[in-house]
Amino acid sequence: MSDVLLSGRGLGRRFPMPRRTLFERAGHTVALDDVDVDVREGSALGIIGESGSGKSTLVRLLLALDAPTSGTVEFAGRGVDARASARDLHWLRRETGIVFQDPYASLDPRMSVGRIVGEPLWALGVDGDRRARVREVLAEVGLEPDMAERFPHEFSGGQRQRIALARAIVHRPRLLVGDEPLSALDVTVRSQILELLTTLRARDGLTLVMVSHDIGVVQNLCDEVVVMKDGRIVEEGPTEKVLQQPQVAYTRRLLASIPAIDPDTSR
Ligand SMILES: Nc1ncnc2c1ncn2[C@@H]1O[C@H](COP(=O)(O)OP(=O)(O)OP(=O)(O)O)[C@@H](O)[C@H]1O
Ligand SMILES: [Mg+2]
């Protein structure tokens, strides 16, 4: 069994909820409630669950983009969350990458593609020929290296998501987290990106955490799955087992409600 790269223990996150009337007491939303999770080095973990179940909150805590109300996060054995020192956060950013769902919102329209993709290299002080690395990573995600000179509005949704992915992996992180990174893409682009992620796993030993509504994506990419409901993990295990023999009624309903397995993205 390989080592745990990322782990969360007893993770909780509450958000304050302002009172709506003078007579109502101010309360809070429990977005995450006592979650334990382990991600082994080189593995791929899928996170599924209905809307509002806490998936994005969990990945934000795991990447120190937000601080837990309770519990701890460790990356490579070192405790690090959003309250960590600048030095520790810099180290975590160097080791991780993230790609979000919306390829339109996530790219700064005023920056050239080359600057967008290369920005982590400069921000994180990664040594080496940075321009060459930008061209190399653009080719890796299936884009022309010359596209570095152009701007995001010149690209389709699928191309933009490749740009976002290139930016997330340009500094060769150990862990890549995707929060529904493939949802906005059509079937063909989605299977190309799946193939690329599979290659990165095999070639570089990249560890993956993928939030996805698409069972085909989870089945194709992930070794393990956690199922979330109301801020808790209600079921977890090897992907085949959870998808084929869900133990919890909620998981069965969830699997029945989400898009059927796509022949292009299933094994
Ligand atoms: N910044 C915030 N302020 C207040 N409430 C929040 C905030 N972020 C999340 N929540 C609440 O926490 C709960 C979990 O939200 P989260 O975004 O983690 O769900 P999700 O599983 O990612 O959903 P989706 O599939 O729709 O993306 C929801 O009830 C949400 O309204
Ligand atoms: Mg979300």
* Predicted confidence (pLDDT) per residue in 182-223, tens digit: 887 888 888 888 999 999 999 999 999 999 988 889 999 999
pLDDT at residue 36 greater than cutoff 60: yes
Q: Quote the pLDDT of residue 2.
A: 65
pLDDT at residue 59 greater than cutoff 80: yes
- Average pLDDT (220-229) is 96
How many angstroms separate the alpha carbon of residue 11 from the centre of ligand 1?
A: 15
Q: How far separated are the first and last CA of the chain, in Å rounded? A: 24
Write the pLDDT tens digit of every residue in 123-135. Answer: 999 999 999 999 9
Residue holding tokens 């005023």?
A: 110
**Position in ligand 1 atom list of the atom nearest CA 101:** 27
- Is 52 near ligand 1, meaning CB less than 6 Å away? yes
Using N-to-C axis directions, what is the helix angle for 187-204 and 157-169, rounded to 10°?
10
Q: Quote the pLDDT of residue 259.
A: 63
Q: Among the residues of the chain, which ranges form H helices?
A: 55-62, 86-95, 113-123, 130-140, 157-169, 187-204, 215-221, 239-244, 249-257
How many angstroms separate the alpha carbon of residue 57 from the centre of ligand 1?
A: 6
**Best residue among 51, 57, 59 to mutate for probing ligand 1, ranked by most atoms within 8 Å of CB:** 57
Main-chain dihedrals φ then ψ at residue 108, nearest 5 degrees: -65, 115
- Is 13 near ligand 1, meaning CB less than 6 Å away? no
- Is 161 near ligand 1, meaning CB less than 6 Å away? no
Q: Quote the pLDDT of residue 17.
A: 83
**Mean pLDDT of the residues in the chain:** 92
- Is 31 near ligand 1, meaning CB less than 6 Å away? yes
Residue in 257, 231, 260, 206 with CA at minimum distance from that of residue 44: 206
The answer for 8, left when phi > 0, alpha when psi is -120 to 50, beta otherwise, is beta
In our burial notation (b when 16+ CB lie closer than 10 A, e otherwise), range 104-129 reads eebbeeeeebbebbbbbbeeeeeeee
Q: Quote the pLDDT of residue 80.
A: 96
- Claim: this prediction has a pTM higher than 0.75: yes
Q: Are 194 and 222 in contact (CB under 8 A)?
A: no
Q: Quote the pLDDT of residue 266.
A: 43
What is the chain's length? 267
Write the pLDDT tens digit of every residue in 80-118. Answer: 999 999 999 999 999 999 998 887 777 889 999 999 999
HSE (side-chain half, CA atoms, 13 Å) at 185: 25
Q: Quote the pLDDT of residue 267.
A: 41
Farthest CA pair distance, the chain: 62
To 10 degrees, the CA torsion angle through 64, 70, 71, 73?
Answer: 0
- Is 57 near ligand 1, meaning CB less than 6 Å away? yes
Q: Quote the pLDDT of residue 171.
A: 97
Q: Any idea which of 129-143, 152-166, 183-197, 229-243 has the lowest mean pLDDT? A: 183-197
Q: Among the residues of 3-156, which ranges form H helices?
A: 55-62, 86-95, 113-123, 130-140
How many angstroms separate the alpha carbon of residue 191 from the centre of ligand 2?
A: 22
Main-chain dihedrals φ then ψ at residue 175, nearest 5 degrees: -125, 130
